Structure 1
């Protein structure tokens, strides 16, 4: 039964302070909830309308420790969606792991990407291109922010996102470190390695000065028109697409 106490508890998880305290976060909507039930994440509560729960298999529903049948208005009160006729999952944060760059693959580093929507979009883009690891500066938006989770459309279940001090991470890197810079070489003329690190910077300031010495391969997306800049999510998609060009 969905009580007022539980609704208050679920709503508290919209704030980072309580997410970290409880080590839990919200996943909302049919797509995200279904994805998390198919993943290795642990689900504490599954809230759903009867219609939505009927679309799930018994195996999927058994992944949740507790299943609560709700009305759409209950879901709206417990979560961030104004309208939600599907469900909400309350999910355990994964255990913290040691941070080290994965070799023999392409990884992303995000330097102070503040907008939750941008971070969620980048995670979804990374998933599209098969990127498994994203390393974020400590100032980057919280991956468990509901806006981030919603923007990933379930891709957070397949892409590892870790937070750390980026400077020592890059200083120990023995692979090419690509950085999107206005002073870089055209990405269309650059020989790109399948193994390395791609650094994307802050929405307005770009890559921070302290990381510039570690950029071994500055790259640029050449402009053809008059726009001042590209959204960091769009720029990430363009950059990654070039790494996988035939």
Structure 2
């Protein structure tokens, strides 16, 4: 049963200030909750229907407390329009430490505000094997319920680190990783010789990359439009741009390996 006070707590976790106060965040949906139960993230309380508990006994034991609940109770507590059979209150993990010698192509998000975009980018990182995602402190909270939903469980595998760009750039200097960024007047990404190791900066949905960050980027990139019409989209959605960029860096890396 989900009591009145617990219901209030669950609803409050939609807001960052309460996530910080309670050191907890909310996960919902059968697939996402199961991913969390299989991860290193601590599940403090699992609220689930009898059928869900019965069908997933292998993973249920990873929750500190399991509370059998009805579908109606879960629906009442849920932040989703179409709730499923469970939801879980999880321990808010501490921020991961900076990797000492990061390799491969890395992403830095400069003030990405939309939680859906952040969650989709986390999912994209997971697909392309990017273990660390760097974000400016004013990027959306990685444990916002909308981020969790959009990531589809990938947040359990991709370590999101919030760090000022200046601090990250100093950390990466010893690795001599080149800095790339997306700009409307950048060079065509499809014709550039892209390296195996690089940091790619993606800017805010409205203003792009802020000037103080742009000044430190040596290699500006652009994803050209293939629409010849004068009337066309001014830019790509940042999560879509991230996927295209990751794909192009991965494709070039794969092609070089096959040639050698």
Question: In which range does the TM-score fall when normalised by the shorter chain?
Answer: over 0.9
Runs of 5+ unmatched residues, structure 2: 256-260
Q: Is the 8 A contact 1:188 1:242 kept in 2?
A: yes
Alignment of 1:209-228 (within 5 A): 209-225=211-227, 226-228=232-234
Give the ranges of 4+ consecutive aligned residues of structure 1 lying more than 4 Å apart after TM superposition: none
Q: Is the 8 A contact 1:200 1:236 kept in 2?
A: yes
Which string of whole-angstrom CA distances, capped at 9 and with x for unpartnered residues, describes residues 145-184 of structure 1? 0001001000000100011111231244320111011121
Query: Residue in 2 aligned with 1:166?
Result: 165
Alignment of 1:153-232 (within 5 A): 153-173=152-172, 174-225=176-227, 226-232=232-238
Matched, 1:65 2:61: no
Q: Is the 8 A contact 1:73 1:83 kept in 2?
A: no
Indicate the RMSD between aligned Cα atoms, in angstroms: 1.4
In 1: Cα distance, 2:25 partner to 2:226 partner: 42
In 2: Cα distance, 1:70 partner to 1:3 partner: 10
Q: Is the 8 A contact 2:120 2:151 kept in 1?
A: yes
Q: How many residues align?
A: 245
In 1: Cα distance, 2:48 partner to 2:244 partner: 37
Which string of whole-angstrom CA distances, capped at 9 and with x for unpartnered residues, describes residues 124-155 of structure 1? 11111111111111111111000010010000
Query: Residue in 2 aligned with 1:134?
Result: 133
Query: Residue in 2 aligned with 1:242?
Result: 248
The alpha carbon displacement at 1:79 in A equals: 2.4
Query: Residue in 2 aligned with 1:88?
Result: 87
Query: Residue in 2 aligned with 1:54?
Result: 54
**Is the alpha carbon distance of 1:217 and 1:42 closer, same or farther for their aligned partners in structure 2, counting shifts above 3 Å?**
same
TM-score by length of structure 2 reads 0.90
Runs of 5+ unmatched residues, structure 1: none
